[in-house]
Chains A and B, each alone.
Chain A
Amino acid sequence: MAKLLKQKKMEDSAMNNRRTFIKKTISGSLAIGALGFPLDAIGASKTEKITILHTNDVHSQIEPFPSDHKTFPGQGGIAYRASIIEKIRNTEKNVLLLDAGDIFQGTPYFNLFGGEVEFKLMSKLGYDVATLGNHDFDLGIDNLVKQLPNALFSFVNCNYDFSKTALKDKILPYKIIKKGKLKIGIMGVGIELNGLVPDKHFKGIVYQHPIKCVQKYADILKNDEKCHLIICLSHLGNKYDDKEKVSDEWLAQGTRNIDLIIGGHTHTFLEKPISYKNLDDKTVIVNQVGWAGVNMGRIDFSFEKKLKKNSVFGQTVIVDKKSSTNEFFL
């Protein structure tokens, strides 16, 4: 594991700022893949691939569920997730590990240690970026500030104004990560805390409308930062009957410049990611993998130079002691 982390750091430091011609639209080498040619056969110099692994609503589920658990017998567990991630890192050059919030609350690990264990273990797993869910405020802003030094990864949120709180400058609107030749912009967006979290626990945080804020930073990541891939970590929820309530469905269709939305909050077990068309009629992929770390999402993007196209496939990895289910989708 330590070796892995070291290797990851080396990759990060070796990243270059050279401007490339990598552009993307959706699909493309998928067709090649469909004919059975491995994507790598195209040639490493011409393609760049990024593997995005993600969790949401893990809710302090450190240990696997017990083997007699009614819904998820023997499933989940951060140590099992770790070994799966390690295997993927051993075969993939560019891996991002992300979380869409509600890291806290649900087991005595949180009740007794206030989130210390969750942050320390996620750091050890090499998480890159996470966003905040409502339950991450369950012990208040001060607790979050106290636990942040245990997190060796970044937190992003662009629609909470933290400027009058102790979280000021500790939560970024977005984070840019370079992997290989790719520049990836990752932003975060959160649900209205009013009514979900006791007032005293989020005092001073000003909630702003998600769509407006996300669009502002998506435009910055696209036009100013020239990111090849733009990801939004969202704790808004997948979709609601109440169409007035902002969801990932709304976010995907009501914005431009976002490629991928990693969702949370509604504990939605998507069998496969959902494709939407955004305001520019371009594809946005939305994924969410239930809760408690029972599943881990995986989405791979391939970028090709000059051909200006990319492929995408994704799947849900069931974190289980014995077996796995791999799913393919467009």
Chain B
Amino acid sequence: MRKAYFSFYSIAFILLLLGCKTFSLSLEQDGLINIKNATADSTILELYEPYKLQIDKQMNVQIGVLENDLLKEKPESNLGNLCAHIALVQTQLYLNSKIDFAVLNYGGLRVPSIAKGNLLTADIYKLMPFDNSLVSIELDGPTTLKVIEKAAAEGGWPVDGIRFKIANGLPKEILINGEPFDLSKNYTIATIDYLANGGDKMDFLREKKQNMTGVFFRDAIIEYIKKQTLNGQTIKAEKDGRLSNE
């Protein structure tokens, strides 16, 4: 029975190979699929129009000017540097306490690039759609090293306040605020609650006490850019070799 089936499959398959194109065409002619020149369904457009108007009103607001194109790359990128820098300074501001360095996950930045020119609220929502909040965590030396090792193992995550080289997925020559990393010291890091809660396999952070800013990272970025703009500053970001592959 199985053998009979098998030969049937073979014949069917050969016929299929021979007639593939004909079949596909005949299906189209039969009108099973005809999506060419698809137009928008006006009922659907009307249904979401009121929501769209509200969104556009909020999103199409210029908050600043971006001087150079931002790109997301590994091990280091200007987009990653800017985001990590904002995470560091804004967390410091909200919690009014010193942060040693900031670390973000690469996957958390949701656009591959941002083009230079006017920056809209919409651009920041695309960059960071998730409702992740900024937090700080104080870590002992060994746990701090685990964080750095994770950032290195991932091929280079966005960081600020720290420099290191990546050799075979491991960090070396780690400098924090210009000082060599000290395993006997405690460090305070800024990050997003997603990671602090153990996201992206950072389970070792799960039980650590968090100082919560209560501010979404997205809102912090918008606030930072608006402040720069008020001070007559444009936004620009460069790579400075803080992370490199060896």
Contacts and interface: CB of A to CB of B under 8 A. Distances in A.
Contact of B122 (A1, A108, A328): A108
Interface stretch (A109-117, A163-171, A215-223): A109-117
Interface stretch (B21-29, B158-166, B168-176): B21-29
Contact of A120 (B11, B13, B37, B47): B47
Interface in A301-323: 313, 315, 317, 319-323
A117 B7 CA distance: 51
A25 interface: yes
B51 A113 contact: yes
A40 interface: yes
Nearest to A296: B35
A323 B198 CA distance: 44
A112 B55 contact: yes
Interface in B153-205: 193-194, 197-201, 203
Q: How large is the interface on B (under 10, 10 to 19, 20 to 34, 35 or more residues)?
A: 35 or more
Nearest to A38: B30
A16 interface: no
Interface centre among B55, B113, B201, by most A CB within 10 Å? Answer: B55
Contact of A300 (B32, B59, B193, B198): B32
Contacts of B198: 194-195
Contact of B40 (A27, A70, A79, A105): A79
A88 B33 contact: yes
A124 interface: yes
A36 B23 contact: yes
B200 A35 contact: no
B36 interface: yes
Interface residues of A, number: 67
Interface of A: 1-2, 25-28, 30-31, 33-38, 40, 51, 62-63, 70, 77-80, 82-84, 86-88, 91-92, 105-113, 117, 120-121, 124-125, 138-139, 194-196, 198-199, 298, 300, 313, 315, 317, 319-324, 326-328, 330
30 contacts: A28-B8, A30-B16, A31-B12, A33-B19, A34-B19, A36-B23, A77-B40, A79-B42, A79-B44, A80-B41, A82-B44, A84-B38, A88-B32, A91-B30, A107-B129, A108-B55, A108-B58, A108-B122, A117-B51, A121-B48, A138-B130, A138-B131, A194-B198, A195-B201, A196-B199, A298-B33, A313-B23, A322-B37, A324-B33, A326-B33
Interface of B: 5, 8-9, 11-13, 15-16, 18-20, 22-24, 26-28, 30-45, 47-48, 51-52, 54-55, 58-59, 110, 112-113, 122, 125-126, 129-131, 193-194, 197-201, 203
